[in-house]
Amino acid sequence: MPPHSQAQPAASSPAIRLHDVELSLGAGAARVHILKGVSLEIAQGEAVGLIGPSGSGKSSLLMVLAGLERADSGRVTVAGQELTGLDEDALARFRGRHVGIVFQAFHLIPTMTAVENVAVPLELAGRNDAFERAAAELAAVGLGHRLDHYPAQLSGGEQQRVAVARALAPEPRILVADEPTGNLDETTGRQIMDLLFAAQARHGSTLVIVTHDPTLARRCDRTVRLRSGVIEPEAVLAGTPA
Ligand SMILES: Nc1ncnc2c1ncn2[C@@H]1O[C@H](COP(=O)(O)OP(=O)(O)OP(=O)(O)O)[C@@H](O)[C@H]1O
Ligand SMILES: [Mg+2]
């Protein structure tokens, strides 16, 4: 049966459910109240574009739903797993099993080549074809000729594509990406978008994509807008350009 990119019927449980999430980060005078009562449901297989001004909390929200930051209060349930009570080890296992993350600042390992970076999550998942798969993923993002380059030897856009390949390689159920086309020219950006949406279509992956790119936002099933740590009601969004 061909896979499809439609959201699952309402009867299936959502891929991501946030209820009244509060998040503060930083210590002392640098402490910032970032997320202020965020509630959000994202269906399995849905693609959501997360938009909003700089500093509104988009990256922080991704960190919470990827299990990289723990909410101060509220409930976070992802892929059927309640994250709120998990310790660091359990969170790391959860991420390894279910979540692919493209960070805004890439976070490639500087002492590893491109193909080694992409192979890391595959090796952690116990795949014995990790390097072949990593090389294939890099070829898919147009970097088949840069397998043995270190991050410092790659351009910003090339590092971004390595980060996308690393996130896609284990075929995660949940894929979160922070401005994945932010450093790319139009053609390369479109290729990366195609790969993200192909993962949605092929594996039914749920996508949450932070973007300032209206073309990318339009390709999502819907957009959610953050403003000062609060999700704007959909009525405000209607008719608003991305
Ligand atoms: N670790 C931290 N400690 C203190 N403040 C933080 C921390 N991380 C983020 N902030 C603050 O929280 C706010 C939200 O940051 P966040 O990175 O989530 O914004 P954003 O919407 O992703 O912005 P941009 O579009 O510029 O990437 C910002 O004002 C930022 O300065
Ligand atoms: Mg950000």
Per-residue pLDDT of the chain (242 residues), as tens digits, is 444 544 444 457 899 999 999 999 999 989 999 999 999 999 999 999 999 999 999 999 999 999 999 999 999 999 999 998 899 999 999 999 999 999 988 899 999 999 999 999 999 999 999 999 999 999 999 999 999 999 999 999 999 999 999 999 999 999 999 999 988 899 989 989 999 999 899 889 999 999 999 999 999 999 999 999 999 987 555 555 54
222 occurs within a structural domain: yes
Using N-to-C axis directions, what is the helix angle for 130-140 and 114-124, rounded to 10°?
130
33 occurs within a structural domain: no
CATH of the domain at 125: 3.40.50.300
**Residue 192 CA, ligand 1 centroid: distance in Å:** 25
- Residue of the CA atom closest to atom 24 of ligand 1: 54
Measured distance CA(198)–CA(87) in Å, rounded? 33
Range of 223's domain?
46-57+88-235
70 occurs within a structural domain: no
Please state the domain count of the chain.
1
- Residue of the CA atom closest to atom 11 of ligand 1: 32
What pLDDT is recorded for position 167?
95
64 occurs within a structural domain: no
Measured distance CA(93)–CA(99) in Å, rounded? 10
How many helical (H) and strand (E) elements, i.e. helices and strands, does the chain have?
8, 10
Counting ligands in written order, the one closest to the CA of 178 is 2
Task: Give, as one character, the DSSP assignment of residue 153.
Answer: G
What pLDDT is recorded for position 10?
46
What pLDDT is recorded for position 148?
98
Counting ligands in written order, the one closest to the CA of 35 is 1
67 occurs within a structural domain: no
What pLDDT is recorded for position 234?
72
Task: Give, as one character, the DSSP assignment of residue 205.
Answer: -
What pLDDT is recorded for position 12?
75
What pLDDT is recorded for position 240?
53
- Residue of the CA atom closest to atom 8 of ligand 1: 25
- Residue ranges lining ligand 1, Cβ < 6 Å: 25-26, 30, 32, 34, 52, 54-60, 104
What pLDDT is recorded for position 8?
45
Counting ligands in written order, the one closest to the CA of 54 is 1
63 occurs within a structural domain: no
155 occurs within a structural domain: yes
**Residue 130 CA, ligand 2 centroid: distance in Å:** 30
- Residue of the CA atom closest to atom 30 of ligand 1: 55
Q: Within 10 Å of residue 142's Cβ, how many Cβ atoms? A: 17
What pLDDT is recorded for position 183?
86
228 occurs within a structural domain: yes
